[in-house]
Chain A
């Protein structure tokens, strides 16, 4: 599956403020060989495009740009595809306007 790059989310996220909790991601993807439909849906539904495919066709998450909205939790937690928690206190996205 190819993700369209007509809009660069990275540029949008660049104006946001984050305090990244290095080495302690608050979202984890369950190990898998072939991604479930729910995991594949996250490639497109995540508003920060945190989910991507690796070389082996598995879904990976990078939480650095996460806006903590919970969309992936709603889609991927019931099937056990992802584990979802909030970042530690003070870490994560820090909205200036909100």
Chain B
């Protein structure tokens, strides 16, 4: 057993864990951070987009040396059927600002950099160490962790569980349920390398400008899911994710889905001739507000993906992770500086602070969205995209058909597919869940 006792142990060196460890170390707390990867980032997978504001609150001058790829000037949403896409594009020169709002990043590189800041702040970071269990006393209070190292148990006043969506410790200790197939999505991703100039030409970019494409429709074959294409400096992150329950139900394979997405006529030209240098897979928490577990207890708090903090509607996760990590750390520090115990009662401060932040406000706003999307997946991800595509083609194709007839046939195709009740019901349910 390591005799040394820590103020806090942080399990995991992802966005949430790094934010928590950094914040506590800076406040002078004695922090031990444990990471099972060879280095921070070697086990972490994300699209990935970094939201500057949340990082700025931790490291105001991050733009000076953080490994950033491209700042985003354009966002595209694609509704796809098998041969076409209907797009909504937003591009603004305003995004070419000095302190850009969003960047694409490569997680392995970014997390290593983030981790170096945690070390600089004075935390002890121990990589290649898998935490196997939480150590609890006779009353069930968390008093530390057990690792796969010889040293065994390490003790601390509080353990911050930043162990990610597939965290085992919290579930093994029965502090929360394991993720369920209808509450998590499996995303698979490839890194496609191309010369910088080729990427810039294909995506209409100059310098470090970047583009995000987010796509939904028949590419997920009626499953609840989305595809994404992010332009980095010299590579393109391309992936697709769907609910695990849908994979289970349909028997579709993730790699065939990815392959299908890559071969789509709207996507293939963007990656033509590229060299794939990595294939990765990761779960994404999709259960929303109602899936958030108990966030604190005697001697522990849970942050980030492990706490299911992911806003699927706005595709925000890492910023919620960073913010929950920072807030948990601030709450812990307040409890400590008042010389109070790390009990559930006192750590409830974390939840109260999180309630006041955008994190739980945003999660709460969309609390009904996951159920709507998951139970109507055939309509939202198959029927509507096909109808919208057909309507666009009817509208654009000039063939001597009178316009009134075209409108009638478009309307008829919608009513035939979903009926008036279905259309109004979907619109109503969607509006109510969005409100």
Q: What's the A-B contact tally at a CB cutoff of 8 Å? A: 148
- A46-98 residues with Cβ-Cβ distance < 8 A to B are 47-49, 67-71, 73-75, 77-78, 84-90, 92-98
Measured between beta carbons, the chain B residues less than 8 angstroms from A96 are 108, 277-278
Across the interface, name the chain B residue whose C-beta is closest to A68: B43
CB of B42 within 8 A of CB of A97, answer no
Nearest CB in chain A: distance from B212 CB, A:
17
CB of B130 within 8 A of CB of A86, answer yes
Nearest CB in chain B: distance from A46 CB, A:
8
CB of B244 within 8 A of CB of A90, answer no
Nearest CB in chain B: distance from A54 CB, A:
20
Q: How many residues in A have their beta carbons less than 8 Å from beta carbons of B?
A: 41
Given A16-B279, A94-B42: A73 in contact with B178 (beta carbons within 8 A): yes
Measured between beta carbons, the chain B residues less than 8 angstroms from A31 are none
**B224 interfacial contact with A, CB 8 Å:** no
Given A67-B280, A89-B147, A90-B127: A47 in contact with B43 (beta carbons within 8 A): no
Nearest CB in chain B: distance from A53 CB, A:
15
User: A73 to B38, alpha carbons, bound, how many Å?
Assistant: 23
Across the interface, name the chain B residue whose C-beta is closest to A38: B248
CB of A71 within 8 A of CB of B107, answer no
Q: Which of B36, B48, B179, B278 contacts A70 (CB 8 A)?
A: B179
**B188 interfacial contact with A, CB 8 Å:** yes
Given A15-B276, A74-B179: A9 in contact with B184 (beta carbons within 8 A): no
CB of B128 within 8 A of CB of A89, answer yes
CB of B107 within 8 A of CB of A98, answer yes
* Residues 357-395 of chain B, each 1 if its beta carbon lies under 8 Å from chain A, else 0: 000000000000000000000000000000000000000
**A6 interfacial contact with B, CB 8 Å:** yes
CB of B128 within 8 A of CB of A90, answer yes
Across the interface, name the chain B residue whose C-beta is closest to A84: B168
CB of B254 within 8 A of CB of A47, answer yes
User: A98 to B45, alpha carbons, bound, how many Å?
Assistant: 4
Measured between beta carbons, the chain B residues less than 8 angstroms from A68 are 43, 166
**B149 interfacial contact with A, CB 8 Å:** yes
CB of A78 within 8 A of CB of B43, answer no
CB of A86 within 8 A of CB of B277, answer no
User: A17 to B111, alpha carbons, bound, how many Å?
Assistant: 18
Given A89-B127, A93-B43: A74 in contact with B259 (beta carbons within 8 A): no
CB of A44 within 8 A of CB of B283, answer no
Name which of A7, A89, A92 has the most chain B CB atoms within 10 A of its CB.
A89
10 interchain pairs, CB-CB under 8 A: A13-B279, A48-B281, A70-B184, A75-B244, A78-B178, A89-B147, A90-B37, A97-B191, A98-B46, A98-B106
**Apart from the given pairs A78-B178, A98-B278, 18 other A-B contacts in the complex at a CB distance below 8 Å:** A6-B259, A7-B258, A45-B253, A47-B188, A48-B281, A67-B279, A67-B282, A71-B281, A74-B283, A85-B168, A88-B130, A89-B128, A94-B38, A95-B108, A97-B277, A98-B45, A98-B46, A98-B280
